[in-house]
Amino acid sequence: MSSSKSIQSALISVYHKDNLEPIVRKLNDLGVKMYSTGGTLQFIKALGLPVTAVEAYTGFPEILDGRVKTLHPNIFGGILARRANNQDMEQLAAHGINNIDLVIVDLYPFEDTVANTSNADDIIEKIDIGGISLIRATAKNFNDTLIVSNRNQYQAFLKLLNDKQGQTEIADRQLYAAQAFMNSSHYDTAIFNYFNQTAQLPVFKSSYSNSKVLRYGENPHQSAQFHGDLEAIFDLLNGRELSYNNLVDVEASLLLVSEFEAPTFAIIKHTNSCGLASRATLLEAYNAAYACDPTSAFGGVLACNRTIDAETAHAMNALFFEVVTAPDYTAEALDILNQKKNRIIIKLKKAINNKTMFKSLLNGVLEQQMDWSAEQGKDFKCVTNATVNAEQISDLEFAIKAVKHLKSNGIAIVKNQQLIGMGCGQTSRVDALESAIKKSKHFGFDLTGSVMASEAFFPFPDCVAIAHEAGIVAIAQPGGSIKDQDSIDAANANQQAMVFTGIRHFKH
């Protein structure tokens, strides 16, 4: 039996009518009988083309303010009947039901409505019933019928009509069926997640309708895709497409600089900050961030929270870096930064404000709330005889933000709103602190009077002693160890100040 089918009849009922005209004109040229409803019916009539109202065909009017239009056996029987099944075809004939070979339908814009209003009645009315049923029915019977379920398919479908003059092959219908179930499942997921904001059912459902194939994954032998709408977050102004590792570092950089209100620059390598500083001007912030670790800055991802001007761009241009993200750029700055054709320049459009994060793990998915906690001086509990002054509180706040974004075990040493030493990803907190001190001294920083933050508590007082020997005068840590008092006693013996924040920031 041939897999080729001829489109002789079509049901067309869409919310979005942009670019629909060439399709219905082509269907008319091919002699296809068209059925339609509501606004689409009026649209086709206005083109002067013959079309039959669904209610005229079914003998049943639209009811409930349009909630029920196409839910009728004459429609679904004509879609679902198996053409090679004699019993199906006999039943159609007995009830006077015509075959429907093509369905063009899209869905009410539920996600857009949720994004633009909090009115529950408006949102509920955008839950499509007839459209989703038509999509599933036509896709199910792909052996005989073809479903166009999204306006993004109009151009490709018009080409199919023109190329094959109304004929379709099984491969065509299977492809459109797969796309239909992709669209319908995405739609249902959006509806479920809306309702689950209240219901809080312990179920994980996530769907992204946009995908981008990346050059490769974390390594060249790994394939990769990004699922989501990057254009909603930023514009790519220059350079090649972002790689897997670029995207991971870009997210890390954006999350870090979003913590700061003053002009701030960050330099990221493998998701960790090797440079971070806040200053009165962006140029000063960049120079201070670069000074933290000029060696690691090479090939890094740069990010800031202010418009990049020409003076700052000149300073940056002396460094080889892969990516820069900023809220904006002056025209002069772009001219300077664009001198390297492969340099990726990103203009941020909106902040990342996800409520949850997830990753694949073992044979499932691990989901958790985003870590949006940012402890401030008012949250500090001073547990030592020595107290912290205003300058130290400000630096400790900076250090907590810095260490929160370092891989555990992590230590951040800060002086005058500058990350002058950091240790991360170590198997012991002592190793992280010693690494931070070693880096700081290597790049010529004086640790005297500096402060440090740890993302987790000290199980032993050894880090307090090492910090004192290096010249660190104040420490922030979550507290919570059964041996907290040992660290407090060590700090008191050294006249160091120590504050507990009560919040841990493990990062793995």
Name the β-bridge partners of 383.
none
The two beta strands, 497-500 and 381-382, are antiparallel
Of 257, 304, 216, 275, nearest in space to 421 by CA: 275
* Tokens 């408006």 found at: 122
> What's the rounded Cα separation, in Å, for the pair 498 and 487?
9
> What's the rounded Cα separation, in Å, for the pair 247 and 297?
17
212: tokens are 């981008």
> What's the rounded Cα separation, in Å, for the pair 413 and 440?
8
Q: Which residues of 144-179 are buried (b: 16+ CB within 10 A; e: fewer)?
A: bbbbbbbbebbeebbebbeeeebebeeebbebbbeb
Whole-angstrom CA distances from 88 to 83, 105, 135, 404 are: 7, 24, 20, 65
Catalytic residues, which ones?
140, 270
> What's the rounded Cα separation, in Å, for the pair 362 and 385?
47
- Asked whether 465 and 486 are in contact (CB, 8 A), the reply is no
Rounded to the nearest 10°, the torsion over CA 424, 429, 433, 438 is -70
Neighbours of 235 (CB within 10 A): 11
Per-residue DSSP letter, 204: -
**28: preceding bond cis by omega (within 30 degrees):** no
